[in-house]
Structure 1
Amino acid sequence: MRRPGPAHASRLAAVLVTVAVALGACSAGAPESAEKPPAPVSAGGADTLPGPVPSALPLRPAPTDSPGAPAFTGTLTDGTPLTAANLWADRPVVLLFLSSWCTICADRQDALSDLARSYRDRVVFVGVASEDEPADLDAYLRDHRVEFPVVFDRDQTIWQSYAVREPPAVAIVAKGGALLRGWPGGIDAAALDARLRELVIAG
């Protein structure tokens, strides 16, 4: 095979430089295919809704003279609609009325969050927040490890239906929708646990 001469080598080098420049121009203008980061998950949103009801859940029957809990629909912190009656149709529900600026709520919230985890899927805890700013509420829920659904009751419609004037307040709703007990001023986790075992959980 004949060795290329100097002229041929020069032409080859010029062609390679031209191709390299063209490729560089194309790659510089090409859009990057980096994936967008996932949207942040709102604390208290749809991912905190309960799973299936545990089989053979032992529950005490609600007293026949118990009033019905005020039914409500609302919107979770991430915009997901929630109908309370769908939750208490098949299991008890604890309603926690709270706000991020409420010092009593903050003092009790960590223990209540732990209690909610201990009853996971057997008893649904639902926060009902009002008089709050979304960013402040989100920070509160994250700081206190709240892993249950939270309705943002902007116009206090739900609060008013439960005669809640200020946070905290707590209400227990039996499976089927009977209002078993309410606590204006709230209740701490240990006392709430005792009342759940007394009023709701059998065995």
Structure 2
Amino acid sequence: MERVSQDSLRNRIIPTLVVLIVVALLGLFAYAMWFSGDSTSLASGGRINTVGRLIRFENRTAPSFSLQTLDGQQISLEHFRGKTVVLNFWGSWCPPCEDEAPVLRDFAATLDENTVIVGIDIWDQPEAAQAFLEKHDLTYPNAVDDNGRTTIDYGVSGVPETFFIGPDGALLGKYNGPVKSVEQLHGFIQELTGAG
């Protein structure tokens, strides 16, 4: 009689434990996917890069793009051929993008005719993006990636994320976090291109 009770108890406890372990593992997996890396997830569907890291690329060509700016102009990567392009992906909902915007504005004011900065707004509302530009007095070209194609082509995982493209169209590297100073950006260009 006691043997039957132990077997019956074991037959109920083991499946329950297995189910609890599987649920716990699925919960850990979901948590790891939601809060992975150096990014923070947002309800908007976008991700925020909080820790900056410069990543160098070798033998890559920058994906071409043709986008409309927030003021209605059409721009493409080909428009900037022969110049070093600093391509910044951002969103108005991103706190580090707010912190970074004055740095980008000041950086744009230091550039000569051989270097340009272009912003690409992603995962955003047009009104919020326009208000962001006005708030920070960002006058360099800022386009909207409405269909997400450019974001996917560049492999953007979160914002802010800044790519560096050589005058020949080579994708030189990216910085996946908020830039802190004008000097830091010029240092990245120097490091990646060998030019100031």
Question: TM bucket by the smaller chain?
Answer: 0.5 to 0.7
Q: Which amino acid aligns with 2:167?
A: K
Q: Which residue of 1 aligns with 2:67?
A: 74
Check conservation: 1:117, 1:147, Cα contact below 8 A.
Answer: no
Q: Which residue of 2 aligns with 1:195?
A: 188
**Matches of 1:160 and 1:97 in 2, distance apart?**
12
**Matches of 2:74 and 2:159 in 1, distance apart?**
23
**Matches of 1:202 and 1:162 in 2, distance apart?**
23
Q: Which residue of 1 aligns with 2:119?
A: 127
1:98 and 2:93 matched: no
Q: Which residue of 1 aligns with 2:156?
A: 164
Change (3 A) 1:113 1:82: same
Change (3 A) 1:115 1:102: same
Change (3 A) 1:186 1:68: farther
Structure 1 vs Structure 2 CA RMSD: 2.0
Name the structure with the higher strand share.
Answer: 2
1:145, distance to aligned residue in structure 2 (A): 1.6
Q: Which amino acid aligns with 1:72?
A: F
**Matches of 1:76 and 1:120 in 2, distance apart?**
21
Identical positions, percent: 29
Deviation string for 1:9-63 (max 9, x for gaps)?
xxxxxxxxxxxxxxxxxxxxxxxxxxxxxxxxxxxxxxxxxxxxxxxxxxxxxxx
Q: Which amino acid aligns with 1:154?
A: D
Check conservation: 2:103, 2:179, Cα contact below 8 A.
Answer: no
Q: Which residue of 2 aligns with 1:180?
A: 172
**Matches of 1:188 and 1:157 in 2, distance apart?**
28
Instruction: Please list, as runs of the form range in 1=range in 2, the aligned pairs for 1:106-145 lying within 5 A after superposition.
Output: 106-145=98-137
Q: Which runs of 4+ in 1 moved over 6 A?
A: none
**Matches of 2:167 and 2:145 in 1, distance apart?**
23
Name the structure with the higher helix share.
Answer: 2
Q: How many residues align?
A: 140
Unaligned runs of 5+ in 2: 1-57
1:201, distance to aligned residue in structure 2 (A): 5.6
1:170, distance to aligned residue in structure 2 (A): 0.4
Q: TM-score, normalised by structure 1?
A: 0.64
**Matches of 1:202 and 1:120 in 2, distance apart?**
12
**Matches of 1:113 and 1:178 in 2, distance apart?**
24
Bigger radius of gyration among the two: 1
Change (3 A) 1:160 1:111: same
Change (3 A) 1:199 1:144: same
Partner secondary structure for residue 168 of structure 2: coil
**Matches of 1:159 and 1:188 in 2, distance apart?**
23
Check conservation: 1:97, 1:167, Cα contact below 8 A.
Answer: yes
1:197, distance to aligned residue in structure 2 (A): 2.3
